[in-house]
Amino acid sequence: MTHEIAVIPGDGIGQEVTPAAVEVLEAIDAVDFDFIEGEAGDAVKAETGEALPEETRELAADADATLFGAAGETAAEVILPLRQVVGSFANVRPARSYPGLDAVQPDTDIVFIRENTEGVYKGIESEISEGVTTCTRVITEDASEKIAEYGFSYAKQNGYDDVTIAHKANVMRTTDGLFLGAASAVGDDRGASYDTALMDALAMHLVMNPQDYGVVICPNLAGDMLSDLAAGLVGGLGLLPSANIGEDNALFEPVHGSAPDIAGEGIANPSAMILSAAMLLDHLGYDEQGDAVRTAVETVLDSGPRTPDLGGDASTDAVTAAVIDEL
Ligand code: NAD
Ligand code: IPM
Ligand code: MN
């Protein structure tokens, strides 16, 4: 069986790390892929006026799964619609510390389960008069229950004992009150144990004691910010993959952006993107191959070449070649 994969490299280092992930997937003999490339991002917008051409949208809608690199200034015009195109309701963002790396915090193994459809990401903003603007934050019971169901199932299936529901219901009493109530009810109905945490204090606890956390279920914007915070705990954004999971489609992308500060130099860390490809393998049912890719990345991080963000001087290509060698 051949799996059709939409490949959307985008801008900046997206153009550098996406081919690395494709090369790794191509090196897996047990699985056949047909990669079809699509354009999106700043460059295509400058050329055509549209950051996400209809063709690319359709490519992602029709593929078995999508690999996305990163976009630059147009990122919101690209990735937010793409997350909708694949019908993703859960954004899964694992943050792990790797042996051998001087992580700020060792023994970190946290998976953020980020709500992926609503909150401030509905994009309902207006300027009601000069100097006065508003943003409408949408929280629904359905989406809150759905992300909590996903989060509790994920914790159970993957052996995480600690589940935390992040919220700010002391201020956003109605919206986060609903999120907290709906997510807690899911935990209660399942007889699961869980904690709830105000997200400001949670940010501090994550920095000081990340070992105390496993699965963190969060509203959309909180998941965006807390996952970058966790990247800082384990060695940076070059290490964090993610999966956007829908009912019957999914998109895989690193948590990082187009990194204009290092783009074009061939020194981006491909690990986040390669680990996203491992999540794609899991999603298609190739858990064994997904594990093999993770082990290869882990081995290279421990004792192989490293890119400058991790203190080394290796290129993206050298790290990718080392991962493929390990496979
Ligand atoms: P960023 O994630 O691009 O970069 C933040 C920092 O992390 C930079 O110093 C960068 O060099 C470093 N970094 C990120 N990925 C790395 C990697 N793989 N290897 C080594 N270092 C890496 O975030 P930013 O600088 O805030 O945003 C830059 C652009 O990216 C903006 O235009 C933003 O809109 C866009 N962005 C896009 C996405 C996306 O497409 N999904 C996500 C976040 C930001
Ligand atoms: C991410 C990014 C996106 C987000 C932006 C670029 C729209 O920061 O994937 O983390 O906020 O979700
Ligand atoms: Mn982000």
Pocket-testing residue among 224, 251, 255, 256, ligand 2, by greatest number of atoms within 8 A of Cβ: 224
Cβ of 235 less than 6 Å from ligand 1: no
Q: DSSP character for 73?
A: T
Q: What is the pLDDT of residues 252-291, one digit of tens each?
A: 999 999 999 999 999 999 999 999 999 999 999 999 999 9
C-alpha pair distances (Å), 182 with each of 146, 178, 202, 219: 9, 6, 20, 12
Residue bearing the CA closest to ligand 2, atom 1: 255
Contact, 254 vs 95, CB < 8 A?
no
What is the pTM for the complete model shown?
A: 0.98
The model's pLDDT over 284-317, given as tens digits with 9 standing for 90+, comes to 999 999 999 999 999 999 999 999 999 999 999 9
* Residue 282 near ligand 2, beta carbon < 6 Å: no
Q: What is the CATH number of the domain that holds 75?
A: 3.40.718.10
**Measured between alpha carbons, how far is 265 from 287 in angstroms, rounded to an integer?**
33
Q: Provide, rounded to the nearest whole percent, the portion of the chain with pLDDT above 70.
A: 100
- The answer to whether residues 36 and 63 belong to one domain is yes
Q: Are residues 229 and 111 in the same domain?
A: yes
Residue 58 lies in a domain: yes
Q: How far apart are CA 25 and CA 22, in angstroms?
A: 5
pLDDT, tens digit (0-9, with 9 covering 90-100), for 34-62 = 999 999 999 999 999 999 999 999 999 99
Domain carrying residue 23? 1-91+238-326
Last-in-domain residue among 234, 263, 283? 234
Q: Is the ipTM of this complex over 0.95?
A: yes
Collapsed DSSP state (helix, strand, coil) of residue 11: coil
State whether 156 and 126 are in the same domain: yes
Please indicate whether residue 263, judged by its CB atom, sits closer than 6 Å to ligand 1.
no
Same domain, 191 and 298: no
Whether residue 80 is contained in a domain is answered as yes
* Centroid of chain to Cα 127: 31
**Of 214, 234, 254, the domain-final residue:** 234
Q: Is 261 a catalytic residue?
A: no
Give nearest CA residue, ligand 2 atom 4.
224
Question: Residues 45, 168, 194, 282: which is the catalytic one?
Answer: 168
Taking the CA of 73 as reference, the closest ligand is 1
Does the Cβ of 69 fall within 6 Å of ligand 1? no
Q: Considering all CA atoms of the chain, what is the largest pairwise distance in Å, rounded to the nearest integer?
A: 60
Query: In the chain, what is the straight-line distance between the N-terminal and C-terminal CA atoms, in Å?
Result: 21
Is residue 243 domain-shared with residue 171, that is, in the same domain? no
- Verify that 10 and 39 share a domain, yes or no: yes
Does any ligand 1 atom lie closer than 6 A to the CB of residue 52? no
Residue where one domain finishes, among candidates 207, 234, 261: 234
Res 102: pLDDT: 84
